[in-house]
Each structure stands twice: as structure tokens, then as C-alpha cells.
């Protein structure tokens, strides 16, 4: 499939696609849409950024628009379950954009906001309802909604659902679903637990898989700076002073950490906003709105809050903390490589985080080039214990790594078997001998910030 015309979608959908400027289906769309249109159940392995929302939204809009069934009060015809409020809003926005020349009602419900208005809206039913699992059950328990007339169910980001502890709500929802329905199930990863959950929802599904988690990383020019925790705030402020960093997502592992980063940046005169689970819905929307509009160029986020953030033109992602789950790193850096674009990702890695770095490199199968610290940036020697293999003096290197022009990365110069010994020990403790044997010689690498990932990885 090379064109949307091949799908023979309803005319209003084709018009909307033209208005969105979509000319060619993405791989997940090319693979999934024909099966979805044919009414098959689908198991899709795809992550955000691949165009998976349109892969399910377009056939849903087409099928609902074509069937001519009228929705009944307190029911929905298509239900999309999403793990987070941000992703739910994002999905609803996509449905509205693709369905703007149709007359289907699209609603979104999630927790953290009063339920009363949602109950009122659902009184007339919704053709398409996007919901987080907890609030959906609330509404069902309050008899504001029934799933008896459901025609199509989508479970999006199933792996994230499980990470967030939604397994119990999801299991409660299954018996409420009508036996005859179409089910579409999407997950970025497919470990056994997710496959088991998929079995419970799907009947004879077609399986499609695109962009394995490792390959997203290949589109992003990456670099890591070794820095003690105590110097991270200062390092971030130093890097953010570079105007080449136009729109940057900074990731913190914890909500508290994200707030601390924002406060510190404020003291340094750098405007930023935080988005995480302790913020009210209004605060999150305000922060995201300002970031999207470009009035706030720095958004500090936790992993969960960042799921579903779909903002074009994110030039940089900074991993202020490395995530303890390697897949999260790939999701994070994917924020700067939306819809096939390239981007730049930097990570700050303290001694304690080296095992996380190792896990990430193992997952992506790409060593992350080491970046020099910015010119003149001083790290208190006592506060940063280097690993036993000697490293070059990064601080002495002349260039600011945050610049998007020809940056010079410091080489990783350890010998095989000596590479990051502390980390390897930790890995051995956690993962057994095969992990410990992953040490390999490092090639000298350049960090090219111009978005050309392959150039960035060529051996010098
Ligand atoms: P998603 O993976 O659904 O979050 O989509 C990622 C981004 O790709 C969104 O900004 C979409 O608007 C965009 N997108 C989706 N499908 C296409 C397409 N066929 N052509 C261009 N952009 C697309």
C-alpha cells in the first residue's frame, strides 16, 4: 500500500487526511488498516510515534460512518482504552481531526476531573469514547454507561496499562463486553503477561509488528555525559542556555525530581514547566499547551506523564535521570523523532546509573557515544568517583556538546573486559553471566547534532 486511496476510505476521511497533509500510510497503517476495515481482530506491536493512532482511528471512523447505526443513550459504539489521561486526550484529538468532516460524536473520559459533567455528556451516548480504565469502571458502576452495544474495542499501550497496575480493571471489563465485537490490541512490547492479556480480548487476531523498540533509537542522535548527581542541575542549566535547543523535553525519574529541576531552572532564569501525576489536569494542559505553542521551550516530565505527548518539533530530549526500565529510554527519545523525523537525545549518567545505561545499550544494541561536558564546566573531583578504567578529561574538551553543529564526542577508550567494571558487576548480580560478557571495545565516535543519525554513529 503506497497511498491512502488504496484503502477506499469514506470521502470525508480522505478529505481529512488531505487536510492533515498525510500522503502516505506509515508501515503500521499500511499493515493494519486493511485488516481492521475487514473487521478482523488485530494484535499490533507498535509504539507511539509510528502512526498507530490513525491505524485504528481511520478504520473505526470508516466502519462506524458506513454502518448507519444510531448510538443509544448511555452507550458507546467504539471504546478506546488508554493508560493515561494525556494519551486519552491525544487519541480523542486524533479522532476529531480525522473525523472532522463526519457527524460522529467523540468523547473522552478520565479521572482527576469531576465525574458529573462526563455523566451528563454520556446521557446521549457517544459513537467513539476514549477512556482510562478506572474512570470507565466508575461510570459503569454509576450506571452512566453500558458496554452492551459496543461494536469495536481498542486497547492501546497495553504494556503501559500493566505497568500502571490496570490489570484488575481490565479483567473486570472483559465480561462486560459483548461477545460479537471487533477488538484491536496495541502494545510496544509483547512479553508473556501482555500476550496472555491479548488472548483474553482477541479472537483469531491478525498480527502486525512494526518498528521494534530498538530501531526507534537509530533515528535519534544520542549521547551520554558522565556527571555526578550533585552537578546535574548546573549542567542542565548550562546546556539549556544554548539557543540551538529550541524545544526540549527533560525527563526526570520522579515527580519530586521534576519539580526540583523546574525550581532550579527558575533560579537560573530559565523558564520551564513540569508535567507529572501530581499536577492537576488544568496544570498539565496548561504546561503542554505552552510547550506546544512554543511559549515555554523546556518541559520537564516523568515517564508516565510523557506517554502520549505528541508535540511536533521537539529538537532535544534530555534524560536528566536515566530510567531504570530500558524500554522507557526508547520511549523518551522517541519524543524527538516523531513520524520519521530525527532528533537529538542527551543523557546525564551518574556512577549509580551506569547499570541502567548498560541495560539501555543492550536493548537498543547501540553503544551511546560519550559526550564532553560543556566548555568550562567544572565538576568537583571529590563528588564524582570515576570507574576504575581511566577516562579522558572531558572537562578539558573545547566544545559545547549541546550545540547542534559538529560536536566532538569523547572516545570511550576502555579495553574489552575492562569496560565499566562496576556496572558489569552489578549486571552480573542482576542478570547472570551472559550480561557480564557483553563488554566490547568501543569505537571512537563523533556526535553530530545535525540530526543525521548515521553520521553521528560512524567511526572516526
Ligand atoms: P502516533 O504514533 O499515532 O502517536 O502518531 C505519531 C505522529 O505521526 C502524529 O503526530 C501523527 O499526526 C503523525 N502521523 C500519523 N500518520 C501519519 C501519516 N500517514 N503521515 C504523516 N504523519 C502521520
Query: Quick check: is 423 in a domain?
Result: no
Please indicate, yes or no, whether residues 97 and 132 belong to a single structural domain of this protein: yes
Query: Quick check: is 29 in a domain?
Result: yes
Q: What is the pLDDT of residue 165?
A: 87
Q: How far is the CA of 22 from the centre of ligand 1 (A)?
A: 8
Please indicate, yes or no, whether residues 328 and 220 belong to a single structural domain of this protein: yes
Long-range contacts of 393-398 (CB under 8 A, 24+ apart): 394/225, 394/226, 394/370, 397/372, 397/373
Domain that holds residue 20: 4-209
Q: What atom of ligand 1 comes closest to residue 90's alpha carbon?
A: 4
Nearest CA to ligand 1 atom 12: 51
Query: Quick check: is 338 in a domain?
Result: yes
Could you count the other beta carbons within 10 Å of the beta carbon of residue 106? 24
Phi, psi (degrees; rounded to nearest 5) at 331: -60, -45
- Most informative mutation of 19, 26, 51, 335 for ligand 1 (most atoms within 8 A of CB): 51
Strand partners, 298: 248
Q: Give me the half-sphere count of Cα atoms (radius 13 Å) on the Cβ side of residue 253.
A: 12
Please indicate, yes or no, whether residues 311 and 191 belong to a single structural domain of this protein: no
Q: What atom of ligand 1 comes closest to residue 97's alpha carbon?
A: 12
Q: Is 380 exposed, middle or buried (0-12, 13-18, 19+ CB in 10 A)?
A: exposed
Q: How far is the CA of 48 from the centre of ligand 1 (A)?
A: 9
Nearest CA to ligand 1 atom 18: 22
List, in order, residues 6 or more apart from 257 with CB less than 8 Å away.
320, 321
Which residues have any ligand 1 atom within 6 Å of their CB?
22, 24-26, 29, 48-54, 310, 338-339
Q: How far is the CA of 288 from the centre of ligand 1 (A)?
A: 18
| The last residue of a domain, from among 161, 188, 209 | 209
User: Cell 520537564 sits at which residue?
Assistant: 300
Q: How far is the CA of 34 from the centre of ligand 1 (A)?
A: 18
Query: Quick check: is 446 in a domain?
Result: no
Instruction: Give the count of domains, the chain.
Output: 2
Please indicate, yes or no, whether residues 72 and 190 belong to a single structural domain of this protein: yes
- Most informative mutation of 53, 82, 86, 154 for ligand 1 (most atoms within 8 A of CB): 53
Coil, helix or strand at residue 108: strand
What value, to the nearest 5°, has the Cα angle with vertex 277 and ends 275 and 281? 70
Query: Quick check: is 427 in a domain?
Result: no
β strands within 179-289, DSSP E = 182-187, 206-209, 220-226, 248-251, 273-275
Please indicate, yes or no, whether residues 180 and 300 belong to a single structural domain of this protein: no
User: Which CATH number characterizes residue 68's domain?
Assistant: 3.40.50.300
Q: What is the pLDDT of residue 308?
A: 62
User: Cell 532564569 sits at which residue?
Assistant: 269
- Most informative mutation of 90, 338, 339, 340 for ligand 1 (most atoms within 8 A of CB): 339
Please indicate, yes or no, whether residues 205 and 218 belong to a single structural domain of this protein: no
Please indicate, yes or no, whether residues 231 and 364 belong to a single structural domain of this protein: yes
Please indicate, yes or no, whether residues 219 and 277 belong to a single structural domain of this protein: yes
Query: Quick check: is 440 in a domain?
Result: no
Q: What atom of ligand 1 comes closest to residue 340's alpha carbon?
A: 8
| The last residue of a domain, from among 187, 209, 231 | 209
User: How do beta strands 409-410 and 370-371 pair?
Assistant: antiparallel
DSSP symbol at 26:
-
Q: What atom of ligand 1 comes closest to residue 26's alpha carbon?
A: 19
Q: What is the pLDDT of residues 206-239, one digit of tens each?
A: 999 886 555 666 678 999 999 999 999 999 999 9
Query: Quick check: is 431 in a domain?
Result: no
Cell of residue 284, nine digits: 498539565
Alpha helices in 374-441, H assignment, sequence order:
421-431, 433-436
Return d(Cα 400, Cα 376) in angstroms, integer.
Answer: 9
> Are the CB atoms for 370 and 223 separated by under 8 Å?
yes
Q: Going residue by residue through the chain (460 aa), what tens digit of pLDDT does each one get?
A: 578 999 999 999 999 999 988 888 988 999 999 999 999 999 999 877 778 999 999 999 999 999 989 999 999 999 999 999 989 999 999 999 999 999 999 999 999 999 999 999 999 999 999 999 999 999 999 999 999 999 999 999 998 898 888 999 999 999 999 999 999 999 988 888 899 999 999 999 999 988 655 566 667 899 999 999 999 999 999 999 988 888 999 999 988 999 999 999 999 999 999 988 777 888 888 888 899 888 999 999 988 777 667 777 888 999 999 998 887 888 888 888 665 566 899 999 999 999 999 999 888 878 899 999 988 887 765 444 444 333 333 333 333 333 333 333 333 323 333 333 233 222 222 222 222 233 333 333 333 333 332 322 222 2
Query: Quick check: is 363 in a domain?
Result: yes
Phi, psi (degrees; rounded to nearest 5) at 68: 75, 10
* The total number of residues written for the chain in this structure: 460
Please indicate, yes or no, whether residues 363 and 228 belong to a single structural domain of this protein: yes
Please indicate, yes or no, whether residues 230 and 147 belong to a single structural domain of this protein: no
Alpha helices in 52-180, H assignment, sequence order:
52-67, 85-98, 116-122, 133-141, 158-163, 167-173
> Are the CB atoms for 371 and 410 separated by under 8 Å?
yes
Return d(Cα 182, Cα 62) in angstroms, integer.
Answer: 14
Coil, helix or strand at residue 275: strand
- Most informative mutation of 32, 48, 54, 98 for ligand 1 (most atoms within 8 A of CB): 54
Return d(Cα 296, Cα 233) in angstroms, integer.
Answer: 19
Sign of the alpha-carbon torsion through 112, 117, 119, 123:
negative
Q: What is the pLDDT of residue 396?
A: 31
Please indicate, yes or no, whether residues 224 and 148 belong to a single structural domain of this protein: no
Please indicate, yes or no, whether residues 145 and 164 belong to a single structural domain of this protein: yes
> Are the CB atoms for 414 and 389 separated by under 8 Å?
yes
| The last residue of a domain, from among 209, 232, 258 | 209
Cell of residue 149, nine digits: 452495544
Amino acid at each position: 500500500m503506497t497511498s491512502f486511496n488504496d484503502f477506499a476510505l469514506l470521502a470525508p476521511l480522505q478529505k481529512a487526511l488531505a487536510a492533515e497533509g498525510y500522503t502516505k500510510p506509515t508501515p503500521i497503517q499500511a499493515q493494519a488498516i486493511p485488516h481492521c476495515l475487514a473487521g478482523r481482530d488485530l494484535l499490533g506491536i507498535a509504539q507511539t510515534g509510528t502512526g498507530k493512532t490513525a491505524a485504528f482511528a481511520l478504520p473505526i471512523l470508516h466502519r462506524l460512518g458506513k454502518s448507519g447505526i444510531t448510538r443509544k443513550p448511555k452507550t458507546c459504539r467504539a471504546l478506546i482504552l488508554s493508560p493515561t489521561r494525556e494519551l486519552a486526550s491525544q487519541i480523542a484529538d486524533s479522532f476529531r481531526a480525522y473525523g472532522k468532516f463526519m457527524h460522529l460524536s467523540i468523547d473522552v473520559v478520565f479521572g482527576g476531573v469531576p465525574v458529573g459533567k462526563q455523566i451528563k455528556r454520556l446521557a446521549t451516548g457517544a459513537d467513539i469514547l476514549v477512556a482510562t480504565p478506572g474512570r470507565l469502571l466508575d461510570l459503569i458502576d454509576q450506571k452512566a454507561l453500558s458496554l452492551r452495544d459496543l461494536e469495536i474495542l481498542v486497547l492501546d499501550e497495553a504494556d503501559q496499562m500493566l505497568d500502571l497496575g490496570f490489570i484488575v480493571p481490565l479483567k473486570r471489563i472483559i465480561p462486560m463486553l459483548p461477545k460479537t465485537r471487533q477488538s484491536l490490541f496495541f502494545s510496544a512490547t509483547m512479553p508473556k503477561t501482555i500476550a496472555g492479556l491479548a488472548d483474553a480480548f482477541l479472537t483469531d487476531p491478525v498480527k502486525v509488528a512494526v518498528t521494534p523498540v530498538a530501531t526507534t533509537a537509530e533515528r535519534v542522535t544520542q549521547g551520554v555525559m558522565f556527571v555526578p548527581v550533585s552537578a546535574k542541575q548546573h549542567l542542565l542549566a548550562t546546556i539549556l542556555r544554548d539557543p540551538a535547543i529550541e524545544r526540549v523535553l527533560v525527563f526526570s525519574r520522579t515527580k519530586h525530581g521534576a519539580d526540583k529541576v523546574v525550581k532550579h531552572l527558575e533560579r537560573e532564569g530559565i523558564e520551564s514547566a513540569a508535567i507529572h501525576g501530581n499536577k492537576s489536569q488544568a496544570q498539565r494542559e496548561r504546561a503542554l499547551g505552552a510547550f506546544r505553542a512554543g511559549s515555554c521551550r523546556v518541559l520537564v516530565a516523568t515517564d508516565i506523564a510523557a506517554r502520549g505527548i505528541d508535540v511536533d518539533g521537539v529538537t532535544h530530549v534530555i534524560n536528566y535521570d536515566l530510567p531504570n526500565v530500558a524500554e522507557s529510554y526508547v520511549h523518551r527519545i522517541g519524543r524527538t523523532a516523531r513520524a520519521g523525523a530525527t532528533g537529538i537525545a542527551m543523557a546525564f549518567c551518574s556512577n549509580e546509573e551506569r547499570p541502567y545505561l548498560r541495560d539501555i545499550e543492550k536493548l537498543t544494541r547501540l553503544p551511546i557515544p560519550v559526550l564532553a561536558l560543556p566548555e568550562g564546566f567544572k565538576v568537583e573531583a571529590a563528588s564524582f568517583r570515576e570507574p576504575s578504567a581511566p577516562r579522558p578529561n572531558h572537562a578539558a574538551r573545547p566544545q559545547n556538546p549541546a550545540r547542534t553543529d559538529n560536536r566532538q564526542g569523547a572516545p570511550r577508550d576502555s579495553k574489552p573486559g575492562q569496560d565499566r567494571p562496576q556496572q558489569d558487576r552489578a549486571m552480573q548480580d542482576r542478570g547472570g553471566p551472559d550480561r557480564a560478557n557483553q563488554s566490547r571495545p568501543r569505537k571512537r565516535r563523533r556526535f553530530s547534532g545535525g540530526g543525521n543519525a548515521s553520521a553521528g554513529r560512524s567511526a572516526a
